[in-house]
Structure 1
Amino acid sequence: MKFAKVFEQTLVEDEIPDDWIEAAIQYKALKKCIARVVEELNLLGLEQNTLKVLLDHVEVNQDETTASNPVVAQYVLKKTKDSKVIPSLKIVVDYNAELTDDYINTSIQVLRSNLEQIVHGFSDNDMKDEDSEDDENNSIEENVLISKTSVQQLPSTAGSSGKKYQISIRLNSDTKFFSMLNQELNNLDKFKKQEEDKMIQEIQNVAETLHELSRNESVKKSDIYTWRELFRLFLDNEIYFKYNDSTYQASEKSLTLVKNNLNKYNEIVTKSRILDQFKNKKSLRAFTKFLHVNEYLLKVLQFQSINTTAFRKILKKFDKQTSLNVKSRLPKLISDDHVFFTGKSLSQSICYIIQTSLLQIVPQLEDYTCPICLEIAFKPIKLECGHLFCVRCLVKMKHEDKFDCPICRYEKAVSLADGSNLDMETMQMMQRMFPKEVKQKLRDRDQERYSEVFGGNKCVMM
């Protein structure tokens, strides 16, 4: 099936909203523009095979052309200050040189004949430098074959009476093609910014609700633990990235995996009936918004994926029908300007926001566990190296003459720690966010102290 049909069907099957479809790449219109490029090149005698020979089998020096090459063609893509791409076909014609290869020689003769009108259509006063600023401001008329042509006479080869010209041709059709392509990219950039802003606002709304709940004494022992379990499941499923690492594009999962992982997460939440544990209706509404953000992000990723594929396909088709080789060059020219075209995923920015502004509101226990006793590091002591331990374990290390950090071996980090190293802000957060764990930690501490004083003997009432 042709990609144009696949493109349309995918937009329908993925249930892409109508207003999104309006922002999608106009693939069929760009295809028609390519057909017009081919038609205009053919009128110049630059059929695909001929152009391929001239472009691929003759080396071109940007500053000069050797006399051994009778005709040299180079397709140039120039980026303007306003990020538009201006194409031009530059051809050097040496009217004195001949080739022994019959096919190339015949092709060149046809090309010379077709370009003769262009060359003699300019007087010496009309010949312009190829870097003329007019190239960027030239207007395009719909029915004009060539939108702009400049001719520069080059020095003839020593001992030759023939003339050599460098002709820069701007076709109407390829100029229109890149103009349309640029507009499509701009439309998708606006779409991306608009949808990203919507999702960020939704995430911020959920974050505000969580902040409110985390400071509410009546819900902290119930809803906060439910939220923690929901977020733990979310992280464990690694929905968007391997090991949930949103900083490396190489770890990003395929669209199919993202969809499957999100469905799996929803199934686990539903089957476990964990949402029934919410005591506050605000929590349930906030989690519904959280799910909606992820489902919405999946939809945007689907839209991004099919459009990115469409751009690659249309450039491949342009090259296949013209041999002008823009597929490898154009992305390098515009990659910094258009996010959709490069394939950079929107999931990177959204997942980063989810992690930094949402998941951290309800921290996971393992992030605040003492690496020695493997319990919550209540009354946390932060060493100079940055590692965190509970005060009880730190005291034990000092008694055992262990003065270096047991994690990174930072010298004398333990011996240098004192009361000023107590992280009061983290301790208060632990009391608020991990009340059950803190209570158990204090109970274990008291039990340990009792054992140290009285040993394993217990008082037995007779």
Structure 2
Amino acid sequence: MKFAKQLEADTENLPEELRQHLIRYKYLKKAISKIVDEMDRRGISASLLSEWLRKSNQHDQNDEDDSLKIQYFFVGEPPDIRTCIRVTYLEDDPRIKQLLSPAKTPGIPLDEQASPLEYRYSKNDTDYFSLSSPPRTDNLNEAASEMKITGRRRSSSSSSKLAKTLLELSINSKQGATTTVSTVKETEETEEIQIIPRQKTLVIELEQDDEFFQMLMRELNQVTSVQQEAKAKFEKDVNNLENRLQALVSEPKKKKSDMYAWRELFRIYMDAQVFQGAHEMDRALRTSQKSRKQMEWFTSELVRTNLIKKISGKESKRAYEQFLALNAELINIRQFQAMNQLAMVKILKKHDKRSGLTASSTFPDLASTDAVFNTKLAKMLYASVTEKLVTVVPQPDDYSCPICMSIAWRPIRLVCGHIFCVRCLIKQQRKRMNNCPVCRHTDAVRLAGADQLDVELQNTITKFFPKEIKEKRKENEREQAIEDVQAMTGRVYSPEQLQRMENQRECAIM
């Protein structure tokens, strides 16, 4: 399947407001045909250009002949850029004629075949030509007669017409002028003068090539504008959903069931790793195809666990639908960015293949396409989801005690900054384990007291984890009861006995 059709097929699922702003691959492909036609009309060989440009770029060490150098480059600043071919050569080098001479087509009159380039101006000992209207035949004849008269003289530093240069090269090649030194005898003096061929520079301005890259720059500017609009809309939607979720979790305790449903939903969402892996070896941003598959797994897991039905409130259901829409929106932005990047790479390769030029190696840096297609945009938007939405409903693991791994009810903040539940610190003090269990700070546990209770953290835990607090209180009461029994009876239960008592807590009948 050709890329143009593949591009249409792969972007069918994109919304219309994004799909209509994709880089128009077919439109640019037609512009490449105009470049090729222009070069063919002027007799520029694409295959020869490609070969010499490749040698110039690779700095071939095996090629000792560096008298001819060709460079393709951009001038100007985006979006107003132009393309040029610069040829540095010795004035008696016949290969210039090979590069620029028209191809002879049987059955077509010579004057109707590809014409020489048109001289535009000279600057800094450099002659500038363009691929515009061809010169008339009578002008070429005048140039030929003039070159026959002055063929042995040193030509001027500025060639007024490329025709002169081509005819001069033709004469020199017939005389075997491939050496770097030639001799001329003066009529009035017997002294022999050595003439060293001068190095000259020829710059060709490619008009259709200019038009192609100006079109491509307009396409890229439009893509950038659409991405910025999508980014602003996405951030606004995230803020709206954040406010809605905060209102939901701040409802009275009798409506806390939705909060626990959202907590489980976010836990499954983070496990799905829709846009980015959780492990160090899998931190790269996922492709849009992979993200869609992970999103499908996420929604199927919600159905399997019957979690959607637990989201009962109207506002909560609206928030759930908005959350799914946000993820779909982010996947679309990611796909829009990736498909545009692929389209740009493909069209530049097509341009280089057909024209023989080397835009693929220089244009991306000039146009700063990394800023347009950088994955930082998608990563930043995904970070806003995880930081602003997922954290609205905190997970118990974020407030657990490092010792018992359950909720840190009545949290005590040690002098080193680590937090433990009060029950675990009491046990540590009884066992005379005076240092912090995490960082080994000296006497951090021994000096802990009621004045180190983190009231603000306790209020947060009370607000978001009422069920966990209730379970923690029951656990503390049970442990206290066992300790009281052991103190009264003098009997000490082994860890195995305590584990059996834990397993038999629930009634087997009820």
TM-score, normalised on structure 2?
0.73
Hey, what's the Cα distance between the residues in 2 that align with 1:129 and 1:250?
Answer: 53
| Structure 1 residues without counterparts, runs of 5 or longer | 99-103
Range that drifts further, 223-232 or 31-40: 31-40
| Structure 2 residues without counterparts, runs of 5 or longer | 103-113, 135-155, 160-179, 182-193, 490-510
Who is 1:101 aligned against? none
CA 1:106–1:176: 2 relative to 1, 3 Å: closer
CA 1:352–1:59: 2 relative to 1, 3 Å: closer
**5 Å matches for 1:335-350?**
335=368, 338-340=371-373, 342=374, 344=375, 346-350=377-381
Who is 1:73 aligned against? 70
Hey, what's the Cα distance between the residues in 1 that align with 2:125 and 2:225?
Answer: 34
Report whether the alignment pairs 1:52 with 2:71: no
Contact 1:219–1:279 under 8 Å retained in 2: no
Who is 1:224 aligned against? 259
Who is 2:26 aligned against? 28
Report whether the alignment pairs 1:364 with 2:395: yes
Contact 1:60–1:72 under 8 Å retained in 2: no
Q: Which digits, 9 at most, give the CA deviation of each residue in 1:319-352, with x for residues without a partner?
A: 2112322223322333366423x4x264312210
Q: Which digits, 9 at most, give the CA deviation of each residue in 1:265-303, with x for residues without a partner?
A: 112223433222234211111111111111222233333
Who is 2:189 aligned against? none
Q: Which digits, 9 at most, give the CA deviation of each residue in 1:163-205, with x for residues without a partner?
A: 4321222211111111111111111111112122222222222
**5 Å matches for 1:440-455?**
440-455=471-486
Query: Shift of residue 398 of structure 1?
Result: 4.0
Report whether the alignment pairs 1:310 with 2:310: no
Hey, what's the Cα distance between the residues in 2 that align with 1:20 and 1:255?
Answer: 15
SS at match of 1:57: helix
Hey, what's the Cα distance between the residues in 2 that align with 1:317 and 1:351?
Answer: 34
Query: Shift of residue 3 of structure 1?
Result: 1.1
Contact 1:96–1:161 under 8 Å retained in 2: no
Hey, what's the Cα distance between the residues in 1 that align with 2:315 and 2:458?
Answer: 27
Contact 1:7–1:306 under 8 Å retained in 2: yes
Contact 2:413–2:419 under 8 Å retained in 1: yes
Hey, what's the Cα distance between the residues in 2 that align with 1:315 and 1:262?
Answer: 34
CA 1:130–1:414: 2 relative to 1, 3 Å: farther
Alignment-mate amino acid for residue 28 of structure 2: L
Report whether the alignment pairs 1:274 with 2:274: no
Query: Shift of residue 431 of structure 1?
Result: 0.4
Query: Shift of residue 90 of structure 1?
Result: 1.1
Contact 2:396–2:407 under 8 Å retained in 1: yes
Hey, what's the Cα distance between the residues in 2 that align with 1:166 and 1:25?
Answer: 36
Hey, what's the Cα distance between the residues in 1 that align with 2:47 and 2:335?
Answer: 38
Alignment-mate amino acid for residue 364 of structure 1: Q
CA 1:339–1:94: 2 relative to 1, 3 Å: same
Aligned pair partner of 1:205 in 240, 253, 257:
240
Q: Which digits, 9 at most, give the CA deviation of each residue in 1:31-84, with x for residues without a partner?
A: 1111222223334433222102321224699xxxx995332110113461x555
Query: Shift of residue 430 of structure 1?
Result: 0.7
TM-score, normalised on structure 1?
0.80
Q: Which digits, 9 at most, give the CA deviation of each residue in 1:212-242, with x for residues without a partner?
A: 1222114553111011011111111111111
SS at match of 1:75: strand
Query: Shift of residue 436 of structure 1?
Result: 0.8
Report whether the alignment pairs 1:380 with 2:411: yes
Report whether the alignment pairs 1:320 with 2:353: yes
Alignment-mate amino acid for residue 431 of structure 1: T
Contact 2:125–2:158 under 8 Å retained in 1: no
Contact 1:153–1:164 under 8 Å retained in 2: no
CA 1:42–1:191: 2 relative to 1, 3 Å: same
Report whether the alignment pairs 1:179 with 2:203: no
CA 1:334–1:384: 2 relative to 1, 3 Å: farther
Q: Which digits, 9 at most, give the CA deviation of each residue in 1:125-166, with x for residues without a partner?
A: x521499xxx9xxxx9xx9479xxxx9869xx8854434321
Aligned pair partner of 1:194 in 229, 240, 258:
229
Report whether the alignment pairs 1:90 with 2:86: yes
Alignment-mate amino acid for residue 234 of structure 2: M
Who is 1:107 aligned against? 98
Who is 1:40 aligned against? 38
Contact 1:404–1:414 under 8 Å retained in 2: yes
Query: Shift of residue 402 of structure 1?
Result: 3.6
Alignment-mate amino acid for residue 288 of structure 2: L
Who is 1:434 aligned against? 465
SS at match of 1:240: coil
Report whether the alignment pairs 1:19 with 2:17: yes
Alignment-mate amino acid for residue 316 of structure 1: K
Range that drifts further, 409-418 or 368-377: 409-418
* Sequence identity (%): 29
Hey, what's the Cα distance between the residues in 2 that align with 1:195 and 1:59?
Answer: 39
* Structure with larger Rg: 2
Aligned pair partner of 1:259 in 279, 283, 292:
292
Hey, what's the Cα distance between the residues in 2 that align with 1:376 and 1:130?
Answer: 81
Hey, what's the Cα distance between the residues in 2 that align with 1:203 and 1:300?
Answer: 15
Hey, what's the Cα distance between the residues in 1 that align with 2:352 and 2:220?
Answer: 19
Alignment-mate amino acid for residue 443 of structure 1: K
Query: Shift of residue 364 of structure 1?
Result: 0.9
Query: Shift of residue 108 of structure 1?
Result: 4.4
Q: Which digits, 9 at most, give the CA deviation of each residue in 1:366-394, with x for residues without a partner?
A: 11111210111122234465543223323
